[in-house]
Amino acid sequence: MVKYESKLKANLKGYLFSLPQIAGISILVYAGILFMVFLSFTNWSFYGGLDFSDIKFMGLKNYQYILEDDKFVSAIITNSFLVLMVPVTAFCSLVLGSAMNSKFIYERGLRAAIFIPNICNIVAIVMIWSALFHTRLSPISGIMQSLGMEPPIWFATPWNARILIYLMNLWRAIGFFAFIYIGALNAIPTHLYEAAKVEGAGTMTRFFKITLPLVSPTTLFVIITESLNTLKHWAPVMLLTDGGPGHSTYVFGSLMYKFAFGGNAIQDLGASSALAVMVVALAGIITTTNWKIQDKWVNYS
Amino acid sequence: MKTSANVLSNIKLENKFIFFIKNIIMWCIALTLLMPLFWMLSASFKRDNIEVFSFPIKWIPENPTLDSYYFLFKPNPVVNISQSFMNSILVVLIISVASFFTCVFAAYAFSRMEFVGRDVIFIFVIISMAVPPELLIVPHFVTYSMMGVVDTLAVLCIGPIFANAFGTFLIRQTFLGIPKSIIESAKMDGASHLTTLFRIIVPLAKETIITFLLLQFTWVWNNYMGPLLWIKSSDKYTIPLAIKILQELSDAGTPVIMAGSVLSIVPIILIFITFQKYFEKSVISAGVKG
């Protein structure tokens, strides 16, 4: 009896300690997903406040509506482009990380300098970025002209805009991932490099034959994290281009926002939920496929 | 003998030269990465848009002025910047303190307490990390409306405090790495869970906890989406939204916007540099394994 009681007590204590997180995650994440799936099949809007009396079941109409929307096609193109560029980000971060993985004068300052773009608030970054690539007054265009190059009209074409979005992402992400790579590089035993050197392997060979395979777990982490970031960080893209030119640079998230809360549009929570359901599924697929295919290219030894 | 000494000093000289060149290159790269921020800083001290966009770029303004900073804090019909700063500070403080407790308690429960269903629940915590809150805006909108917290600062705090899978996971992993014997011996001495947790475990996991709080500080301080979605009245704006609204709705020129940006970035840089030591220790020395 005493034993049973103490076991019950231990259980209760365990639940009590983890309760704040369990409750929050259950309500905000899991109940949220279920509710969102439910809403995606209905016509519910927030017109009458929290009134569910004239809610109607719509079947797959919301999904059909999203799939037939032109903006959705733009979002697919922009999002795919950003995800396909993630390995480039990973590679640049690795190169930067390897370059920084040795002794420097005032090393801490150097590392802080690389990391700072990552911790600046996005509104400030976008303000700077839009001023630097201003349509008429761009200082970058000025520099290019003085070097005898013909500057493009930034943000004028869909691909220009997408590339500028990517460059902003890269600029913000590279410092963070370089940090992570420095950690991984420190863990590589130096005798491997020494052995390779003795056998006459050059810097390039050593980088591709030793460094690249040995940091592959970190690369997996970087690729998953940054792919998910491109799916979830829609506010920067919306701030920078507001979907323009035309609606070419919508991403899934900003489209979701526009459907649900955008400007004077109707609060189409059903369509927005349908889109969100698809994106959450996609996020799940990206994460699991990356975990599944990792033994093909990730080296844990 | 003499020749070999010469060779040695040559190698040293060559190494020194390489070291020097390497430093110059890396510092150039770092400063290039920071160029947009220098541009912002310099623009904030300029008088008007004409001066900001004049070419060639004047990195050091001819007649530096603090007018933009004064303008920023002058009463203005759209936003109240000093109020927004107070709001940001308040939200960051509340979240840091409260999420420290909720995450540390949950991390302790998931690593050092025995209860039925612990590991299954923990798997649900991990999986929830793959579902970004940025994609759950519709259900959150409804939940927060039901709770009646929309358009209050509380709405910005609920998620990071009560649904912080990242913090729980990160801290739990560190707790697991603490040798069991240390905890067992504390229990032998009759220490309660709370004493063990705050006297023994938390101090040993200091670096991870500080790193977590540091990362979270930057996320919360920089959060733009939350206020954009849930905050409507201007006296509850936090800094990022305030700057955006200022740019959209007032006649403030680029220098003023840049001054606001500088002020929003400075605190975060100071905090980062102060705690960089811990951050580097937990990210760089430990590395990310898998």
Cα A155 to chain centroid, rounded: 21
User: ipTM > 0.90?
Assistant: no
Query: Could B113 and A123 be called an inter-chain contact, meaning their C-beta atoms sit closer than 8 Å?
Result: no
Give the tens place of pLDDT for each residue, B77-101: 888 899 999 999 999 999 999 999 9
Give the 3-state secondary structure of residue B57: coil
Chain B residue nearest residue A18, CA to CA: B106
- Domain B75-252 class in CATH: mainly alpha
Is the sign of the CA dihedral B231, B233, B235, B240 positive or negative? Answer: positive
Give the number of residues written for chain A: 301
What is the model's pLDDT at position B183? 82
Question: Which 210-269 residues of chain B touch chain A by CB within 8 A?
Answer: 218, 221-222, 224-225, 228-229, 239-241, 243-244, 247, 254, 257-258, 260-262, 264-265, 268-269
What is the SS3 assignment for B252? Answer: coil
pLDDT tens digits, one per residue of B191-227: 888 888 898 899 998 888 998 999 899 999 999 999 9
Average pLDDT, whole number, for chain B? Answer: 86
* Residue in A105, A114, A125 closest to B23 by CB: A105
Rounded Cα–Cα distance for residues B238 and B220 (Å): 10
Instruction: Check CB contact of B147 with chain A, cutoff 8 Å.
Output: no
Cross-chain Cβ contact B258/A128 below 8 Å:
yes
Most confident residue range from A39-53, A160-174, A224-238, B179-193: A160-174
Q: For residue A4, give the 3-state DSSP assignment.
A: helix
SS3 of A42, please?
Answer: strand
Flag whether residue A216 sits within 8 Å of chain B, measured between CB atoms.
no
Q: Which residue bears the tokens 């640049």?
A: A92
Residue A181: enclosing H or E segment and its boundaries? helix A158-186
Q: Over the stretch A127-166, which tens digit does the pLDDT of each residue have?
A: 888 888 887 778 888 888 888 888 788 888 889 899 999 9
Q: According to the model, what pLDDT value does residue B240 have? A: 93
Tokens of A236: 């920067």
Of B34, B158, B287, the CB nearest to A186: B287
Q: Is B273 on the interface with A (CB under 8 A)?
A: yes
- Bridge partners for A57 per DSSP: A42
Identify the pLDDT of residue B20.
Answer: 86
Over range A23-43, report the average pLDDT: 93
Residue type, A124: A
Q: What are phi and psi of A130, to 5 degrees?
A: -70, -35
Buried b (16+ CB within 10 A) or exposed e, B114-140: ebeebeebbeebeebbbbbbbbbbbbb
Please answer yes or no on whether A279 and B135 come within 8 Å at the CB atom: yes
Torsional class of B287: left (φ above 0), alpha (ψ -120 to 50), beta (otherwise): left
- Model confidence at B162: pLDDT above 80: yes
DSSP per-residue string spanning B92-130 = HHHHHHHHHHHHHHHHHHHHH---TTHHHHHHHHHHHTT
At residue A54, what are phi and psi to the nearest 5 degrees?
A: -105, 35
Closest CA to B207 of B278, B284, B280: B278
pLDDT in tens, A269-280: 888 999 999 999
A38 touches chain B (CB under 8 A): no
Domains of chain A: 69-297 (1.10.3720.10)
Three-class secondary structure of residue B238 per DSSP: coil
Question: For residue B108, what is the nearest residue in chain A, using CA coordinates?
Answer: A17
Chain-chain contact of B224 with A111 (C-beta, under 8 angstroms): no
- In this prediction, residues A57-76 reach a mean pLDDT of 88
**Which residue in A17, A171, A231 is closest to B33 by CB distance?**
A171
- The predicted pLDDT at position A59 comes to 82
CB contacts, 8 Å: A12 with chain B: 115
